[in-house]
Amino acid sequence: MLNCVYAGMRVATKAQMSGIAVQRNCNWYRNGRGERNYKVTVVGAGGGIGQPLSLLLKQNALIDDLTLHDLSPTKGVATDLSHICTRTHVNFFEGVKQEGLIDSLKDANVVVVAAGQPRKMGMTRDDLVTANATIAMAVSCAMSISCPEAMLAFVTNPINMLVPIAAEFLKARGVYDPKRLFGVTTLDVVRAKTFIAEFMSINPSLVDIPVIGGHSGNTILPVFSHCSPKFTGVEDDVNRLTKRIQDAGNEVIAAKAGAGSATLSMAFASAYFVNALLRGLNNEPNVIESAYVSSDVTDLPFFATPVLLGPYGIKENMGLPELNTAEQAALENMLPELGQSIQAAIRLAQFVLKESNVGRAQGEATASASSASAQLA
């Protein structure tokens, strides 16, 4: 409470101010269960997504240690964050050496990958695979040494391809656990809630809708038939909003005149998903979020659906909601495109593994991973 000079405003006494000071807590996310705290490492913490993501995570009371890693200098970002009045301690590592990445991941409970080349005007998310695949490879190799049981969450695009690439590298290192590997598709859900709330003139926090499939264009499928509250629009409205959700990334790029992509909304969505992972780790019941994960709900090996989270990652894949005729047709239409991306990613990963013999080096970082780390952006 501030001491206000305006007439009619009550002024707090010194004793009241003391009580307020004791109660004040700068953390936005509360650790209501009062249980253990966690280490989260953000790879790419100096970037357009990494910085606002780190700011949001600094306010999460479940995080005891927030570690930043980037190729570019991160000392300034870490120092800036360290001045924020929360109990979360901030560490940083910077530079191209694989050892720095390995050290930044040591004993992490959650690793969030936000490094990489951003999407530009005219690019699809899949166009980024050449630039960003090495990130998945380097982080997977380093993680196998430093924190093989951590939750690994990819924010970097193309999520449809980087998650399968990471899976292949983790398999080669003998530490793959499909329950602990995630592609963060939360932004698709966030956008769906926002656009539906705008259409229905309600609070977005009241909207719940599953978004399934992948994280690129037509592979993003919001399931309007399971929207809560019931969607009030007609078929044309469903089609228009579906298209807007699928193309929302391009909407942001165009609004920024090609000078940037969806960094702030992606940071918000990523922080939201990390908080869900931490709540699951903390054994909070009924934590359900959509994510792109290893899956058998379709014929594809990876697919985004709602998953129940727990202390060891995914407790249960909630599967596909019952689809209406139009949604079933959209699902069948997008499966070949998503499948092609997944298979291309697996072929790329297996080729690199064969050429570099990454899987043979179990005790130390390989030359291939060091080379990959040098290309992190």
Task: Kindly report the three-state secondary structure assignment for every residue of the chain.
Answer: CCCCCCCCCCCCCHHHHHHHHHHCCCCCECCCCCCCCEEEEEECCCCCCHHHHHHHHHCECCEEEEEEEECCCCHHHHHHHHCCCCCCEEEEEECCCHHHHHHHHCCCCEEEECCCCCCCCCCCHHHHHHHHHHHHHHHHHHHHHHCCCCEEEECCCCHHHHHHHHHHHHHHCCCCCHHHEEECCHHHHHHHHHHHHHHHCCCHHHCECCEEECCCHHHEEECHHHCECCCCCCHHHHHHHHHHHHCHHHHHHHHCCCCCCCCHHHHHHHHHHHHHHHHHHCCCCCEEEEEEEECCCCCCCEEEEEEEEECCEEEEECCCCCCCHHHHHHHHHHHHHHHHHHHHHHHHHHHHHHHHCHHHCCCCCCHHHHHHHCCCC
Q: Which residues, 6+ apart, have CB-to-CB distance to 44 below 8 Å? A: 50, 69, 70, 113, 114, 115, 116, 135, 156, 376, 377
Predicted local distance difference test score (pLDDT) of residue 220: 98
69 catalytic residue (yes or no): no
359 is in an annotated binding site: no
Catalytic residue, from 69, 89, 215, 226: name it: 215
Estimate to the nearest angstrom the gap between the alpha carbon of 293 and the chain centroid: 12
24 is in an annotated binding site: no
User: With a cut of 50, which residues of the chain have pLDDT below it?
Assistant: 1-25, 28, 32, 361-377
Predicted local distance difference test score (pLDDT) of residue 35: 56
Predicted local distance difference test score (pLDDT) of residue 67: 99
The domain made up of 38-185+355-372 has a fold known as: Rossmann fold (3.40.50)
* Residues 218, 337 contacting (CB under 8 angstroms): yes
Q: Judge if 38-185+355-372 and 186-336 fold alike in CATH terms.
A: no
44 is in an annotated binding site: yes
Tell me, yes or no, if the pTM score tops 0.85.
Answer: yes
- The matching CATH number, chosen from 2.40.50.140, 3.20.20.70, 3.60.15.10, 3.90.110.10, for 186-336 is 3.90.110.10
95 is in an annotated binding site: no
Predicted local distance difference test score (pLDDT) of residue 258: 85
50 is in an annotated binding site: yes
Residue 93, SS3 per DSSP: strand
Report domain extents, the chain: 38-185+355-372, 186-336
45 is in an annotated binding site: yes
Predicted local distance difference test score (pLDDT) of residue 14: 44
Q: What is the pLDDT of residues 140-184, one digit of tens each?
A: 999 999 999 999 999 999 999 999 999 999 999 999 999 999 999
Predicted local distance difference test score (pLDDT) of residue 357: 73
Angle made by CA atoms 65, 270, 344, in degrees to the nearest 5: 115
Predicted local distance difference test score (pLDDT) of residue 314: 99
213 is in an annotated binding site: no
What is the b/e burial string over 56-85, where b = at least 16 CB atoms within 10 angstroms of the residue's CB?
A: bbbbbbbbbbbbbbbbeebeebbeebeeee
* Averaged pLDDT of the chain: 88
What is the separation, in whole angstroms, between the first and last Cα of the chain? 43
Predicted local distance difference test score (pLDDT) of residue 13: 43
180 is in an annotated binding site: no
